[in-house]
Amino acid sequence: MITYIFRRLGTLVVILLGSSFILFNLAAISNDPIGELRLSRAPNAKELILVTTRELRLDLPPPLRYFMWLKNVLGTLVGHGNLGVTRTHESVASALGAAIPTTLRLVSAATFIAIILGITIGIVTALRQYSQFDYIMTFIAFLLFSLPIFWVAVLLKQFLAIQFNNFLGDPKITPFWLSGIGLVSGFLWASIIGGTRKRFWSVFVGVGIASAAIIVTIVKSHWLMNPGLGPFGIAIFGVGIAFGITHLSVGLSDKKALKASLFMVVIGLIAYYPSQIAFRNDHKAIIFPFMVLLTFLVAIGATFIFSKIDRGPLFRTTLLTAITISAVTILDKLMHTWKPYFESDAINGRPVPTIGQSNSLLEPGNYWLTTLDILMHLVLPTMALTAISFAGYIRYSRGTLLEVLNQDYIRTARAKGLTERTVIMRHAFRNTLIPLTTIIVVDIASIVGGAIITEHVFGWNGMGTLFNNALNNFDLNLLMGVFLVTASLAVLANLVADLLYSALDPRIRVGSQ
Amino acid sequence: MKKWNRSAKAALALAASAGLVFGAMSPASAATRTSVVIVESNSFTSLNPNTSGQNLVMNTDIAYMTSMGFYYYNNEPSIIPNTSFGSYKVISQKPFKVQYKVNKGIVWSDGTPIDGVDLLLSHVISSSAYSIAAGLGDPADTKAPAAFDSLGYNGTYDQNIVGEPVLTSDRMGVTVTYKAAIPDWVLSSPGAFPVHTLVELAAGEKKLGSGPHNLAAKNKFLTAFKTKDTKTLKAMGKIWSSAYNIDAVDAKTNPLLLVNNGAYLVSSAVKAQRVTLTLNPKYNSGPKTHGIEKIILNTISDGTAAVQALANHEVDVYAGQATADGLAALNKISGIQVINALSATWEGVYLRSGDGPGETDHYTGVFANGSTAASKAQATDIRRAFLMAFPRDEIVEKVWKPLSAKSGPMDSINYFSTFPNYKKMVANNGSSRYTAGTQASRTTDALKLVQKYYPTTSASAPNVKIKILWGSPSNARRISEAAIIKAGLAKAGFDADLTPEVKWVSLLPSNKYDAYFCGNGLSGVFQAGLTGGWNSGADQYSGYNNPAVDAAVKKLQATVLTDDEIYAQYLIVEKNVYDDAMSVNITQWPAVTAVSQDLKGIDPSPILPETVWNFWEWHY
């Protein structure tokens, strides 16, 4: 095992050396950094050419420059080298240090949403194989998969930002839109739930009318302008969440778990008012970890109260419920921040932004306004990235689950008389995750590489922008810096995926001769 | 109990009135905006754009708005003296001496008065001789930069300065001696720099100094300048070259770096996102501002994204290169004004007649003058035929007109249609040879001219081979231009090879090409700035060599001329270039600026700093 890892790390070094040499030289001959200056009529054009030649060592051939760069980088191993400086004299390490968090902020949310949403829909489509829902989702998956993100981004900005902001200026919903929303949501839920024709139509009509009614209520009550859940809303949400999580985690037949979950909801409601005071506090850095710790402790406590044996699954259930309730409480606080945010001079009644990472005019200082602002700036890019990337997960998880469901051990499990929930969640779903793990690991590693086009169209300056700028500005040190990070992560992620695979699936052993 | 009641009532009343005040305040402040958000395409990297690597548009825009000097360009463009800052005058013709003086009473943002000592640093960062003499390194060294890593060396000032600038007796200005009367001495005027902060930064200080302390620091620089104190100057050079390279500004930033004399000062900057400029309360070095308190420069590199941000009222000003799609999108947005203008970038075609300076291979194509009078006459005829058949009107009509109604053919080698003498120039420069009649009639004449030397060629089977360099295949506009050119030239018997080249700029010196067409940009208005290198020995690739043009360019470069004399010299250049059939210009590029409807006073200039040149006039 250890020799295997070392062998793989050895190949990593060889791959990095070879590919960096090729990339450096290709980039070096691909462009002429003083080309533009040749046509320049500026009085100091000659000086500019001299300075550029001096800084980029253009008097030396590219392979020689590569080895100079390599010597500098290898110097880091003995403590006196660095990744060089960019053309604007910033150290490459600090440029990367600033870009990686930006990229993580942009891409990680989208990746996790895509993974969760993709797997969920994939499983539902597999369970409802060849149903209308399956066909529709397959169609949507392929449609989204094939869309170019820059175009998706432009459409999202036009409809969900510019026009939605205009709508908020005078929120009136036309019967056309109302009936449209009713039809679509009715159809969606009716196809998911399935069943007989009668049941289909009754669900369709019921959900359609209900969603239209909800939309009308939201618009008429000015809830859009002044949203919030309040303790009552949280209570309703909480009970739903408790039932849902218990059902998926241990099954509703486990009365202890259900009670414990509901107990967590009650605790969450009791904590609602103290947490409002805590939210007002200025020392968020101290308060927040404390609140997280408290959530854990309460979940553990509930487990001990409600169960004497087999506490693992119960703890899992209570903890998940507690975390979700906390999230809903924070969501409620953000909703209450909406009105002051919406009415601030900086936002001026147009809360959905199309560009950037934060509002240019919003004064820093108010924690919740700033947080809401950052979240609002994440909405569109996250939607765009999720839309184009979750289709893959739908297809993978659907295919894998269908394959697993045809295995002998599933038939055995059913023959044993296990409930359908246990068969799916414990026997099928877990085995579905094994091949998915390898894909997810590699995808997560590639998050750091950034999303060049998304970053560009949404004005985010992460790794993708860095790479793009490095190529366009002939910034070889920067280019190689980005490359080193992304290439090492890609190779390492493959190694981790292989190791994980062997750890999860006992049939596979790495490094065995 | 009673007491409690009263205080409770008082508290209630106070709270209610506070609520009233807040309620009344918030809509009022929303009604009058005092901030402007402008789009920049690159990121902020340095407060000092005069060092290597930092000469980027966003940096120069910020420097322009945060510092003031002796002059600025308006949007004609011509030079406007900034009389609030100071004045300059020639005090002696022989030797040619100019005195630059700053006004009494103007101050840096830390309250320190500006005086002549602040003008001396300009010499240190522009004079190679001083840099060498003071032991700061030779700026022309190809291995290492000088202590002041400046882009100002080797310019007009450096080439013409005699000795060092001398501080006037009242310390309010400097007297500079030039080798001879140089034409653009105004442009060589020294820029002011808060030298006291530089000295303090070099000493490791982190707080704004007091008045006497700053004066002492200033005097320390003066002594170092006069005695060429290598150690002190080198320490200052290190700061000047690197300490200003910051991409984020917050409460932790050393305030000494932000001292300046412009109307606005950098108050905060978020790395790679935006820079916020706030009104300088002590500003008195330039024109008065009109109520804008904050200018925010937002980095948005994608044009479509910038247009959508404008539609969503996230930004107020966006200036960009016009594209047909972009323009259509802008015209659909309500609540903005779209300003169409022509930029100082133009497109032209340039022919080759021989070898450019320093080229090792020889040009032997159909346009080559050769060594005999007969070969020269033939080459000139072929070049004339080429330019006559060059489908300029069609290019303008099909490629440029859709972008701006203002686009039209440019019938002068050097003058823009906005220049006062443009019409006079066009009437006299001989461009009519390539514009008279219709394109069809010109092409017919061109074909006859070509057939005189190449009788086998025809419009249906062109066989006079020429190779034209023009750009990369990613440039859609050039591709459509190339297609029009190929078709147009074929009608005159030319078989033009217009293969796109990614590295086309590097191929400019290559003698494999008979012609190239490209964009040219004007960076400033100086007397000889428009000659475009038509003199022999200049950096040009056409191999053009004409003694009359050389003499005219020399006169423009070396003597102070009146406007009429300048016109006369340019006329000589144009007449010869047109007669020798070396070039025609196609058109000026359109530029489009979109501004939020409420913002007034924006009137972009064709040259840098384009939109922001008159930022002090902006108001709501």
In sequence order, the 6+-apart residues with CB closer than 8 A to the CB of A416 are: none
Q: Identify the pLDDT of residue B146.
A: 92
Number of neighbours of residue B27 by Cβ within 10 angstroms: 9
| Residue where a domain stops, chosen among A163, A188, A221 | A221
Q: Dihedral through CA B171, CA B172, CA B175, CA B181, nearest 10?
A: 180
pLDDT at A190: 84
Query: How confident is the model over B582-600, as a mean pLDDT?
Result: 91
A469 lies in some domain:
no
Do residues B610 and B422 make contact, with C-beta atoms less than 8 angstroms apart? no
User: Is residue A14 very low, low, confident or very high in pLDDT (cuts 50, 70, 90)?
Assistant: very high
Of residues A30, A87, A461, nearest to B43 (C-beta) = A461
Residue B4 has a pLDDT of 42
**Averaged pLDDT score across all residues of chain B:** 88
| Tokens 């323009």, located at residue | B327
- Nearest CB to A457 within list B35, B145, B305: B305
β-bridge mates for residue B596, sequence order = B336
Nearest C-alpha in B relative to A356: B273
CA B397, B400, B404, B409 torsion-angle sign: negative
User: How far is residue B98's CA from residue B71's CA, in Å, rounded to a whole number?
Assistant: 15
pLDDT in the model for residue B281 = 95
The H or E element that residue B162 is part of is strand B161-167
Greatest CA separation for chain A? 88
Residue B397 is given by DSSP the state I
Residue B32 has pLDDT above 80, yes or no: no
Contacts of A355 in chain B (CB under 8 A): 298, 300, 305-306, 308-309, 312, 314-315
Distance CA B617, CA B611 (A): 12
Query: Closest partner residue to B45 among A41, A90, A102, by Cβ?
Result: A90
Please determine, for residue B9, whether its predicted confidence score (pLDDT) is greater than 50: no
Pairing of strands B464-469, B317-321: unpaired
pLDDT of residue A437: 85
A-chain CB neighbours of B315 within 8 Å are 355, 360
Number of H helices, E strands in chain A: 22, 0
Residue A133 φ then ψ, to 5°: -60, -45
Output phi, psi for B269, to 5 deg: -150, 130
Which structure tokens are listed for B177? 């001696």
Alpha-carbon distance of B103 to B35, in angstroms, equals: 30
Residue A451 within a domain: no
Looking at residue B531, what is its pLDDT? 66
Which strands form B173-178's sheet, in the order they lie side by side? B86-92, B96-102, B173-178, B161-167
Beta carbons of B53 and A459 less than 8 Å apart: no
A276 and A135, same domain (yes or no): yes
Instruction: List B residues 20-49 in contact with A (Cβ-Cβ < 8 A).
Output: 26, 29-30, 33, 35, 37, 43, 45-46
- How far is B107 from B85, CA to CA, in rounded Å? 10
Judge whether B271 is closer than 8 Å to chain A, CB to CB: yes
Q: Where a domain ends, among A199, A221, A243? A: A221
Q: Is A440 part of any domain?
A: yes
Token pair in block for residue B108: 């840096």
For B491, other C-beta atoms within 10 Å of its C-beta total 19
- Residue with the bigger pLDDT between B309 and B537: it is B309
Whether residue A65 is found in the same domain as residue A150: no
B273 neighbors A357 (Cβ within 8 angstroms): yes
Q: Are residues A479 and A500 in the same domain?
A: yes
Amino acid at B471: G
**C-alpha distances out from residue A158 to A227, B55, B308, B315, B592, Å:** 24, 35, 7, 16, 22
Query: Are the beta carbons of B360 and B373 closer than 8 angstroms?
Result: no
Q: Hunting for tokens 């950037």 — which residue is that?
A: A356
B289 touching chain A per CB within 8 A? no
pLDDT in tens, B481-520: 999 999 999 999 999 999 988 878 888 888 889 999 888 8
Tell me the chain B residues in contact with residue A54 when contact means C-beta distances shorter than 8 Å: 141-145
Contact B53 A157 (CB under 8 A): no
Whether A127 maps to a domain, the answer reads yes
Checking if the pLDDT of B261 tops 90, the result is: yes
Sign of CA dihedral A254, A257, A260, A266: negative
**Residue where one domain finishes, among candidates A445, A465, A497:** A445
Q: If DSSP states are collapsed to H, E and C, what string results for A111-180?
A: HHHHHHHHHHHHHHHHHCCCCHHHHHHHHHHHHHHHCCHHHHHHHHHHHHHHHHHHHHHCCCCCHHHHHH
Query: Percent of chain B, pLDDT > 70?
Result: 94
Distances (CA, A) of B244 to B69, B394, B431: 19, 49, 49
- B585 by DSSP, 3-state: which? strand
Kindly state the helix (H) or strand (E) to which residue B80 belongs, with its residue range. Answer: strand B79-81
Percent of chain A past pLDDT 70, that is, above it, reads 98
End-to-end CA distance of chain B: 55
Q: What's the confidence (pLDDT) of residue A252?
A: 84
CB-based contact A106:A379 (threshold 8 Å): no
Strand partners, B167: B174
pLDDT in tens, A107-145: 888 888 999 999 999 988 998 888 888 888 888 888 888
Per-residue pLDDT at A287? 75
Q: Name the strand (E) or helix (H) holding B456.
A: none
Q: What number is the average pLDDT over the span B240-264?
A: 94
Q: Is residue A69 part of a domain?
A: yes
Which whole number is the average pLDDT over A35-45? 74
Residues A214 and A166 in one domain: no
The pLDDT value recorded for residue B24 is 37
To the nearest whole number, what is the mean pLDDT of chain A? 86
Same domain, A485 and A337: no
Per-residue pLDDT band at B10 (split at 50, 70, 90):
very low
DSSP B531: S
Find the mean pLDDT for residues A24-32. Answer: 88
Q: What is the pLDDT of residue B580?
A: 93
A289 vs B319, higher pLDDT: B319
* Chosen from A29, A47, A478 to mutate, greatest number of chain B CBs within 10 A: A47
A377 compared with B320, residue with greater pLDDT: A377
Q: What is the pLDDT of residues A56-73, one digit of tens each?
A: 888 889 999 999 999 988
pLDDT of residue A283: 66
Torsion angle of C-alpha atoms B492, B493, B495, B500, degrees rounded to 10: -10
**Which residues in chain B (146-185) have CB-CB distances under 8 A to chain A?**
149, 151-156
Whether A510 shows a pLDDT value over 70: the answer reads no
- Greater model confidence, A354 or A289: A354
- Cα(A475)–Cα(A467) distance, integer angstroms: 9
* Statement to judge: residues A27 and A165 lie in one domain: no
Q: How far apart are CA A444 and CA B503, in angstroms?
A: 37
Distances (CA, A) of B336 to A161, B239, B403, B597: 18, 43, 18, 4
- Answer whether A40's CB lies under 8 Å from B523's CB: yes
Contact A392, A386 (CB under 8 A): no
Q: Assign B569 to helix, strand or coil.
A: helix
- Distance CA(B447)–CA(B382), nearest Å, equals 10
Work out the minimum CA distance from B28 to partner chain A, whole angstroms. 10
B111 DSSP assignment: S
Quick one: A286 and A372 in the same domain?
yes
A305 and A380 co-located in one domain? yes
**How far apart are alpha carbons B190 and B192 in whole angstroms?**
7
CA dihedral (A9, A12, A16, A17) in degrees, to 10, reads 70
Residue B532, by phi and psi: left (phi above 0), alpha (psi -120 to 50) or beta?
left
pLDDT digits (tens, 9 = 90+) for B125-148: 999 999 999 999 999 888 888 999
Q: What six digits make up the tokens of B408?
A: 């039209």
Rounded to a whole number of angstroms, the distance between the first and last alpha carbons of chain A is 11
- A300 shares its domain with A386: yes
Chain B contacts in chain A segment 7-46 (CB below 8 A): 30-32, 35-36, 38-46
Domain that holds residue A331: 97-171+222-445
Taking the C-alpha atoms of residue A454 and residue A107, their distance in angstroms, rounded to an integer, is 9
pLDDT digits (tens, 9 = 90+) for A399-426: 999 999 999 999 999 999 988 888 888 8
Which residues of chain A lie closer than 8 angstroms to B37, CB-CB?
A: 360-361
List, in sequence order, the alpha helices (H) in A358-475.
Answer: 367-405, 408-415, 420-422, 429-447, 452-457, 463-472
What total number of domains does chain A contain?
3
Which structure tokens are listed for B434?
Answer: 């390539």
Cβ atoms of B339 and B595 closer than 8 Å: yes
Instruction: Determine contact: A310 vs chain B, CB below 8 A.
Output: no
pTM of the complete model: 0.87
> Mind listing the pLDDT tens digit for each residue in B427-476?
999 999 999 889 999 999 999 999 999 999 988 899 999 999 988 877 78
Specify the pLDDT at position B542. Answer: 84
Q: Are A103 and A49 found together in one domain?
A: no
Which pLDDT does position A282 carry in this prediction? 66
Structural domain includes residue A468: no
Residues A206 and A235 in one domain: no
Q: Which residues pair with B162 in a beta bridge?
A: B177
ipTM of the complex: 0.86
Integer-rounded Cα Rg, in Å, for chain A is 27
The answer on A382 and A425 residing in a single domain is yes
pLDDT at B2 over 60: no
